[in-house]
Structure 1
Amino acid sequence: MTISLHAPITLGGVTLRNRLVMAPMQQYKGTSEAFAVSHHIEFYGRRARHVGLVIAESTAVSPNGRLWENDIGIFTDRHVEPLKKMTNAVHEQGTPIFVQLSHGGRKSSPQVTRSLIAPSAIAFDDHYGTPAALTSEGIDRVIGDYRTAAKRSLEAGFDGIELHAAHGFLLHQFASPLSNAREDAYGGSTENRARLLKEVLHAVRGEVGRNYPVIVRISATDYCAGGLTPEEWARMLKPLEPQLDAIHVSSGGLLPLRPNDVYPAYQLPHAAAIKPHFQIPVIAVGKIHSRSLAERILDDRLADCIAIGTPLLEDPDFAEYLLAQ
């Protein structure tokens, strides 16, 4: 059976009207205290008209884990009301919106981070500097930050949560052997390196229940020998599948390296390699900007949804154009 971009799909307890997902993209418009502003309300509301799902930009679970000095956060109760205005604007278009919960770890903004933390004292680069390896108490605090952020996500009206375990941020740092040299229960084996993600997911589920959508975004490759691969991610995520509702497959960001070539659907092979291992939907992303390409991916069962990013920054009606091609 042919699968169209127009076909609905269900993620957890939320049904999307089509297979187009607005990928999370930073706006660099938050206040110094990480509050969403009128820009976010207008930006997301305008672009929600034709996509099946909006995933909001990275939203910090801790003031010590912000990615940029002008990102947005959800680490105090005062952050809820501005975010509620943003979700209301998206809901007015009949579209669900997920929040992407993140902690930068060793890639947290030096401008607003008091103490840089990571699984191990391994620097990303000279700009960020060398982080402190998290203690067991520090790990518990991080898990608690995600738990509280999940509670606030419900209060802010988000329809689901995406856990950001991609692009070199904290959950990704724990998962990859290139950034995790721990010798305790959070390092070494594949199972141990996935432990923080597992415990964060469990904490989030404790707040939102099983019917509320929770998905994960991963970087399927670190673009470096000895780093993560789609196959290892499959081993990490398979035990978590009963608690997840989709896997959003991106790549890179752990190291200051870039892929050798960026072309239409350049990240698709990673999504396609992960998909056969799971029953839950897989979201592909990465320069999939034509309807013919998107529907060929869906029809070949290489992915279940298509996320688009940059074109929606430039043209708020790009999704309408894509669906009408």
Structure 2
Amino acid sequence: MTKFDEPLTLKSGVTLKNRLMLSPMTTKQSFFDGTVTQDEIAYYQQRAQGLGAVLTGAANVQPIGQGWPGELGVFSDDFIPRLHELATAIQSQGAKAIVQIVHTGRRADLTTLKGLQPVGPSEIAEPQAGATVPRALSATEIETLIADFGAATRRVIAAGFDGVEIHGGNGILQQFFSPQSNQRTDDWGGSREKRYHFIDEVVKTVFATVKKYAQKPFSVGYRFVPEELWTPGLRLTDTQYLLTQLGKTPLDYVQISEMSYQRVAQAESTDFQDKSILAYLHETLAGELPLVGVGGVRTRADVAAVLENAELVAVGQQLMVDPTWAVKLAQHQDAQMVQTPFKDAIEQVSLSTPLYNYMAKGFYSK
């Protein structure tokens, strides 16, 4: 079985010193325009200790794709100097620095859009109370958006990062792939193959950009949500198709987006019930791509359990409240790991005001 302290050299040539990653999480620590703050730099630098890679929270590739106040921005060259400071801070701890790039589509925050209507594949809102109906992107706008994923990648390269992760979940890429949100009848929608078309073009554009601009090994990963609970919606069979297609690309890894690595499929009536989603999708990949497991990792046992069905482990909230957790893991200081409930743990760690307020609202509402 894979051990967490084993190095891994990816297809791109990027070598991770171990199998531990900081999961890309919303922190709301950027300035209102998407510029990196000192709080953000300090936050990531502290948590980079002992990790193979640090993934930033999602960074939007277009202003109209901004998902929330305080989200990172990579839609302008003006961001490059501060992004470079962030990359350098992470790399100073021996971790690879990776930016997750995103367009949140119909889920964009109305406050940040200043009255503009969010965009999506079709004029279909998310099936939940209060969701905004987006404006459907034109064919020309789709081509521009694909190019902007490439432009964002160029900026990340210029800033000195080691890679990008394409956020294919909870945003525009998932919305194009989902039969609920994409009901187009042109080349960008309809069959599952046509709904994959947008993802395919974004991935190709990112790799073309890497080939043109990267002067050193540069990693490209992809994050995905395995299922949607509404009908119609994505099911694990759709995700198996997605991973099979992505396995034909030069991607370095794929990362599942889940709250628990033990989760069993919930949108299926009879299929995929005998083991975890992670286990089924690891079988689907069959070694074609490294899989990153995530969700509820707090202990050494959790790390070992994830690595039974994945090649890499992403850790989120635990590292938020226990910044040196990876060091403790490596040094067998398990007794010193923070294990109190997260709503109590956030009171015992130094967090910036925006991050504390965001996390407190989430934990205390449960």
TM-score (norm 1): 0.91
CA offset digits 1:116-137 (Å, max 9, x no partner): 1001101125545210111101
Equivalent residue, structure 1, for 2:190 = 188
- Structure having the higher Rg: 2
Aligned letter for 2:199?
A: L
Equivalent residue, structure 2, for 1:314 = 321
Aligned counterpart for 1:227 among listed residues 226, 233, 240: 233
Equivalent residue, structure 2, for 1:118 = 120
Aligned counterpart for 2:302 among listed residues 280, 290, 293: 293
Task: Tell me the number of residue pairs that the alignment of Structure 1 and Structure 2 aligns.
Answer: 311
Q: Which piece of structure 1 moves more, 201-210 or 83-92?
A: 201-210
Equivalent residue, structure 1, for 2:263 = 266
Answering whether residue 65 of structure 2 is matched by residue 58 of structure 1, we say no
Q: In 2, Cα distance between the equivalents of 1:118 and 1:21? A: 31
* Alpha-carbon offset, residue 224 of structure 1: 3.0
* Alpha-carbon offset, residue 227 of structure 1: 1.8
Answering whether residue 158 of structure 2 is matched by residue 155 of structure 1, we say yes
Aligned letter for 1:198?
A: D
Moved runs in structure 1, 4+ residues, more than 3 A? 125-128, 262-265
Q: In 1, Cα distance between the equivalents of 2:293 and 2:260? A: 14
Equivalent residue, structure 1, for 2:284 = 277
Assess, with a 3 A threshold, how the Cα gap between structure 1 residues 223 and 321 changes in structure 2: closer, same or farther: farther
Equivalent residue, structure 2, for 1:71 = 71
- Whether the 8 Å CA contact 2:243–2:284 is kept in 1: the answer is no
Assess, with a 3 A threshold, how the Cα gap between structure 1 residues 115 and 226 changes in structure 2: closer, same or farther: closer
- Whether the 8 Å CA contact 1:265–1:285 is kept in 2: the answer is no
- Whether the 8 Å CA contact 1:265–1:288 is kept in 2: the answer is no
- Whether the 8 Å CA contact 2:9–2:15 is kept in 1: the answer is yes
Answering whether residue 234 of structure 2 is matched by residue 237 of structure 1, we say no
Aligned letter for 1:123?
A: A
* Alpha-carbon offset, residue 263 of structure 1: 5.7
- Whether the 8 Å CA contact 2:50–2:94 is kept in 1: the answer is no
Q: Gaps (5+ residues) in structure 2?
A: 265-274, 335-366
Assess, with a 3 A threshold, how the Cα gap between structure 1 residues 287 and 187 changes in structure 2: closer, same or farther: same
Answering whether residue 118 of structure 2 is matched by residue 143 of structure 1, we say no
Secondary structure at the counterpart of residue 58 of structure 2: strand
* Alpha-carbon offset, residue 276 of structure 1: 2.2
Aligned letter for 2:251?
A: L
Assess, with a 3 A threshold, how the Cα gap between structure 1 residues 34 and 187 changes in structure 2: closer, same or farther: same
Answering whether residue 132 of structure 2 is matched by residue 129 of structure 1, we say yes
Aligned counterpart for 1:213 among listed residues 215, 219, 225: 219
- Whether the 8 Å CA contact 1:289–1:322 is kept in 2: the answer is no
Q: Gaps (5+ residues) in structure 1?
A: 252-261
Percentage of matched positions with identical amino acids: 30
Equivalent residue, structure 2, for 1:80 = 80
* Alpha-carbon offset, residue 275 of structure 1: 1.8
Secondary structure at the counterpart of residue 145 of structure 1: helix
Q: In 2, Cα distance between the equivalents of 1:220 and 1:21? A: 20
Q: In 2, Cα distance between the equivalents of 1:282 and 1:264? A: 12
Q: In 1, Cα distance between the equivalents of 2:129 and 2:48? A: 39
Aligned letter for 2:63?
A: P
Aligned letter for 2:6?
A: A
Equivalent residue, structure 2, for 1:255 = none
Q: In 2, Cα distance between the equivalents of 1:112 and 1:272? A: 38
RMSD between aligned residues: 1.8
Secondary structure at the counterpart of residue 65 of structure 2: coil
- Whether the 8 Å CA contact 2:51–2:94 is kept in 1: the answer is no
Assess, with a 3 A threshold, how the Cα gap between structure 1 residues 112 and 8 changes in structure 2: closer, same or farther: same
Assess, with a 3 A threshold, how the Cα gap between structure 1 residues 80 and 122 changes in structure 2: closer, same or farther: same
Q: In 2, Cα distance between the equivalents of 1:152 and 1:128? A: 32
TM-score (norm 2): 0.81
- Whether the 8 Å CA contact 2:254–2:290 is kept in 1: the answer is yes
Aligned letter for 1:230?
A: L
Q: Which piece of structure 1 moves more, 200-209 or 6-15?
A: 6-15
